[in-house]
Amino acid sequence: MSVMDEATPRLMIVDDTLDSLQVLEEMLTEQGYRVLALPDGEMALKAASRRPPDLILLDVLMPGLDGFQVCARLKADAALRDVPVLFLSALSAPGDKVRAFKAGAVDYITKPFQFEEVEARVSAHLRLRHLQQELAAHSEALESTVRQRTEELVEANARLAELDQAKSDFLSIVAHELRTPLNGLFNWAEMMLTDLPSTADTQECSRGFAAARRRILSLIDDAMLLARLQIRCQAIDMYASDLAPILAEAVDAADAAYHAVDVAIGPAPTTTARVHGQHEMVVRAVRALLVTATRFALPGSTVRLTLTPDDLVVRMAIEASGYAVPELELARFFEVFAIGRTLTPGGDVGLAPALGRCLIRASGGQVAIENLDPPGVRITVLLRRLG
């Protein structure tokens, strides 16, 4: 049999009236269908089990198993339940039709019938059956693709988790190994400075040494925190934090640890607002942004903080007067080491901008920078207000 013949729909006709069976078989064969005509229900069930047809035309009134019983058994078989069944019957009462549809039939043709009607309904249900098969095949293929992609994503996520852990462990090891020799160097240098005569030069040297030590250790801490936030992308528990103590601690920390020459910070504005974020995380973020602002301040000036709260957010402005960010650098100002050169006499910005933005974003806020006229910068921080 050719490939074309195999693609031709196969119909089964079940009717104990031989004249009706023969007429339908001849007419449907002439229409190009492959037809199997059978005179009773038992034979139909056995033949369908061996090779399911594409559609069944089933008489209702037959000796032995009637059409309702045959249809019920077809629908109880997982291999046959999707084969469309069209009833052929002289019974025209509404109750008979309802019973047929309850048994699982898709259509009901009343005898005597017009062949054109039979052929039209057969053709329509075969098209519907074909579309259903295509949809089922498409759904199965889609489910298979989804399962495959899900498995691939699970494997990829597991691999990424391993890599993230490896990176985190590596950074921890590097930080630890850096601290160990650095602490030795710091201790030796401090001992040597202590043994020197106390003069203006040695005092200045001691202050410079202390500032450099703080900067190196802070850089290591900032790099570790930034790496954990960016590499692990771990969920961080947030809660409502009072903003006033956050600002006070951030100002004190920035002024004590990173104070630029002849540049003051503060004072911290008073507020009763509460914001979304961990206390220590927001303190560290504000401190980093304050340090960033000092790099653009003129000697003798003050970095100022102002707050503008509303119902949803607290807008914090950190302003410094003196120097501006080159326009070409503004768009990538908060990227890690995007600015690898010193922009002002105040020194390079280091990791402070990137760390500040990363911590604020982790708290659900936003950070931006703009140039002022006369020259200076304004760093704007938006924090979610919770009270």
Q: Is 386 left (phi over 0), alpha (psi -120 to 50) or beta?
A: alpha
Q: Please give the pLDDT value at position 314.
A: 93
27 and 44 together in one domain: yes
The answer to whether 190 touches 170, Cβ cutoff 8 Å, is: no
The pLDDT assigned to 71 comes to 94
**In contact, 263 and 346? CB cutoff 8 Å:** yes
- Is residue 145 domain-resident? no
Verify that 245 and 379 share a domain, yes or no: yes
Q: What is the distance between the alpha carbons of residues 88 and 107, in angstroms, rounded to a whole number?
A: 9
Tens-digit pLDDT profile for residues 65-107: 999 999 999 999 999 999 999 998 888 788 888 988 998 899 9
Query: Are residue 227 and residue 174 in the same domain, yes or no?
Result: yes
Residues 274-278, mean pLDDT to the nearest whole number: 90
Residues 6+ apart with CB under 8 A from 326: 343
In the prediction, which pLDDT does 235 show?
47
The answer to the question of residue 118 being in a domain is no
Q: Do 343 and 224 share a domain, yes or no?
A: no
| Local confidence band at 234 (pLDDT 50, 70, 90 cut-offs) | very low
Question: Looking at residue 248, which CATH number applies to its domain?
Answer: 3.30.565.10
Please identify which residue in the block is written with the tokens 């806020």.
Answer: 365
**Which has the minimum average pLDDT: 97-106, 190-199, 256-265?**
256-265
User: Which position has the higher pLDDT, 168 or 42?
Assistant: 42
Confidence of residue 238 (pLDDT cuts 50, 70, 90): low
* Range name among 5-19, 28-42, 133-147, 206-220 with the lowest pLDDT average: 206-220
Q: Does residue 202 share a domain with residue 268?
A: no
| Percentage of residues in the chain having pLDDT higher than 70 | 85
Determine the Cα–Cα distance for residues 213 and 206; give it in Å rounded to an integer: 10
pTM over 0.85: no
- Is residue 123 situated within a structural domain? no
171 and 255 in a single domain? The answer is no
Name the burial class of residue 37, with classes exposed (0-12), middle (13-18) and buried (19+) by CB atoms within 10 angstroms of its CB. buried
Q: Are residues 258 and 380 in the same domain?
A: yes
300 & 361 share domain: yes
Total domains, the chain: 3
Residue 121 lies in a domain: no
Q: Please say which residue of 113, 146, 170 terminates a domain.
A: 113
Whether residues 249 and 284 share a domain: the answer is yes
Average pLDDT, integer, range 249-261: 73
Q: In residues, how long is the chain?
A: 387
Burial class (CB in 10 A: 0-12, 13-18, 19+), 198: exposed
In a domain, 97, yes or no: yes
User: Is the pLDDT assigned to residue 233 strictly greater than 80?
Assistant: no
pLDDT at 310 > cutoff 60: yes
Same domain, 218 and 254: no
Both 245 and 343 in one domain: the answer is yes
Residue after which a domain boundary falls, among 113, 140, 170: 113
The pLDDT of residue 358: 87
For 49-61, how does the pLDDT look when each residue is reduced to its tens digit (9 = 90+)? 999 999 999 999 8
Task: List the CATH number of the domain containing 18.
Answer: 3.40.50.2300
**249 vs 230, residue with greater confidence:** 249
Residue 270 has pLDDT above 50, yes or no: yes
**Is residue 202 very low, low, confident or very high in pLDDT (cuts 50, 70, 90)?**
confident
How many whole angstroms separate alpha carbon 91 and alpha carbon 108?
Answer: 10
Residue 125 lies in a domain: no
Q: Looking at the domain assignment, is residue 120 inside a domain?
A: no
- In this structure, the dihedral spanned by the alpha carbons of residues 336, 341, 343 and 348, taken in order and rounded to 10 degrees, is 70
Average pLDDT, the chain: 84
Where does a domain end: 215, 232, 249?
Answer: 232
User: Which range, 181-185, 186-190, 305-309, has the best average confidence (pLDDT)?
Assistant: 305-309
CATH number for the domain harbouring residue 222? 1.10.287
Average pLDDT on 373-384 reads: 94
> 356 near 376, Cβ under 8 Å?
no
Report the distance separating Cα 13 and Cα 109, nearest Å: 13
Is 22 among the domain residues?
yes
Residues 27 and 60 in one domain: yes
Provide the domain limits for residue 160.
154-232
